[in-house]
Amino acid sequence: MVTQEQQLLWSRIQGFSFDDRTAQVTFSDKLAASQNWTIPFAQKAIEEYRKFLFLCCTSPKGAAPSKIVDEVWHLHLTYTQSYWIDLCKNTLGRDIHHYPSRGGEEEDSKHQQWYGETLQLYRLVFGIDAPSDIWPAPNQAARLLNDPPFRLNAAAIVSMIGLLLLPFIFIAAAYQTWSPFNLGGPHFLVFFPIYSISLIIAYIIYRTQIIKGEMELVAAVLPYDASVFQVANFLYGEHRALQTGIVDLIKRGLLEIPGYNQFVVKKSSYRSDPRDINPLIHAYAREDDGSLLNYNTLMTTWYNRASFSHPVLDALSKFRRRPESLLRTYIFHVAILGMLLARSIQGTLNGKPIILLLLEGAVFIIVLAVVASRLSKSAVVSRKVKELYQQRSGSIVNTNNQLVSQFAMEGTTAFGDWTEGVALSGLFLLYTPVWYRSGVGASDSSGSCGSGSSCGGGSSCGGGSSCGGCSGN
């Protein structure tokens, strides 16, 4: 803050009140409830939003918000009088507009760069680093755009070379030839299993090296503020997420089950709490006491994907479903199939039977496919997220009910002898989620600030933000 004019602007921004104390639900309460944040965290986010507004209006290049700051901005835009009149006109002296992004990797790259520059500007203007829980490092989201570096250590390389040479050393010692195509039929049927098993073990070593980088990446970015409902949505999909919310409401006495596929809203013990992290609670609150609903109605009217999403989990979801290079993925498959195909052609041309060879080949191709599915990036990322969530369950956003958390991770087996669980099991099993689903997609957009007088410009995304940015003259 260099000029007197900027100091006065900052004083006005600091004095701006977001909460109407006469309102039944204040801005802070609504923000916390809509984002599943605690009240103190929501208030901290609002304070960082103040700083973003100041940077927006004083920096020649503008500023890009973090995802959390952007959520505050989005909500504030819905308070028309407060935003356009009280803030923009009477406090900032300029309008700050919000526009959609054109999207695309090039735009994302520019947004990430702008976000990084915003963090540097924050440090320069306010004299401290931006708090990482509100303004995450830009590389946290950027590092998910690419696969981790591929590294093979010396032991892995030596082991793989030894395994690849083993079947050829075997036939050289046993049959005095280095070429498997010089072997007779019975001898090749001995060679091929050794060859296939060696390649499968080499593939496991190869994938294990890649997996290390993927697991390190997941451990580095997995957020502590992800709720059990968001993790269930990431791991198992929308039905498990909805079911977790239903189980939570039943355990709290807010839903009852009078019969199969019937849910009755009970509000006698309900008390509104902005700190409630169950994403279904907002839809529940809109229902009348005694309303009778079925599962499909809950899915179509209560489930909202955005409420069950987390920006970092969304980025992880995109990362896990992004395909790897064909060479990295299928080089070992090609080696086994290539040997099988070449020998089959040789046998056919020589008029030899190949049925046993094809049966052997089918067995090892199936084995390799099973191993590959277990070691795929999608499977590894999902398992690591589940493992870390269970390890951190005592220190991250969670429910107070152990059964709810257990059901989110394990499904109906967690019900045990719970009476209501018997009625729910049959219904929930009709919607059994896929363990490694394709992922929860997040729409990408961004915004910008502009005005006819002194604010104008483009937009930016940064630190996991889906939209937002501003510039000033």
Q: What is the pLDDT of residues 322-358, one digit of tens each?
A: 887 787 788 999 999 999 999 999 999 999 999 999 9
Contacting residues for 453 by C-beta, under 8 A, at least 6 apart: 93, 94, 95
Collapsing DSSP states into helix, strand and coil, what is residue 239? helix
Q: CA–CA separation, 40 vs 4, rounded Å?
A: 32
Q: CA–CA separation, 260 vs 7, rounded Å?
A: 64
Do the domain assignments include residue 467?
A: no
Q: Residue 369 belongs to what domain range?
A: 153-443
Mean pLDDT of the chain: 83
Same domain, 438 and 450: no
Structural domains in the chain (count): 2
Q: CA–CA separation, 116 vs 122, rounded Å?
A: 10
Collapsing DSSP states into helix, strand and coil, what is residue 256? strand
Buried residues in 246-268 as b, exposed as e (16+ CB within 10 A): bbbbbbbebbebeeeeebebbee
Q: What is the pLDDT of residue 27?
A: 92
Same domain, 201 and 296: yes
Do the domain assignments include residue 362?
A: yes
Q: Is-contact 88 454, C-beta < 8 A?
A: no
Q: Which residue has the higher pLDDT, 465 or 294?
A: 294
> Is 19 exposed, middle or buried (CB count within 10 Å of its CB: 0-12, 13-18, 19+)?
middle
Q: Quick one: what percent of the chain has pLDDT higher than 90?
A: 49
Same domain, 437 and 456: no
Q: What is the largest CA-CA distance in the chain?
A: 94
Q: Is-contact 135 122, C-beta < 8 A?
A: yes
Interior angle at CA 226, CA 111 and CA 63, nearest 5: 20
Same domain, 81 and 159: no
Q: What is the pLDDT of residue 334?
A: 94
Collapsing DSSP states into helix, strand and coil, what is residue 448? strand
Same domain, 111 and 182: no
Q: CA–CA separation, 154 vs 378, rounded Å?
A: 27
Return the H-helix or E-strand segment holding 48.
helix 39-58
Q: What is the pLDDT of residue 45?
A: 92
pLDDT over threshold 80, residue 170: yes
Q: CA–CA separation, 297 vs 283, rounded Å?
A: 11
Q: Quick one: what percent of the chain has pLDDT higher than 70?
A: 84
Do the domain assignments include residue 470?
A: no
Q: What is the pLDDT of residue 360?
A: 95
pLDDT over threshold 70, residue 441: no
Lowest mean pLDDT among 268-277, 346-355, 438-447: 438-447
Return the H-helix or E-strand segment holding 293.
strand 292-293
Same domain, 130 and 207: no
Q: What is the pTM of this model?
A: 0.62
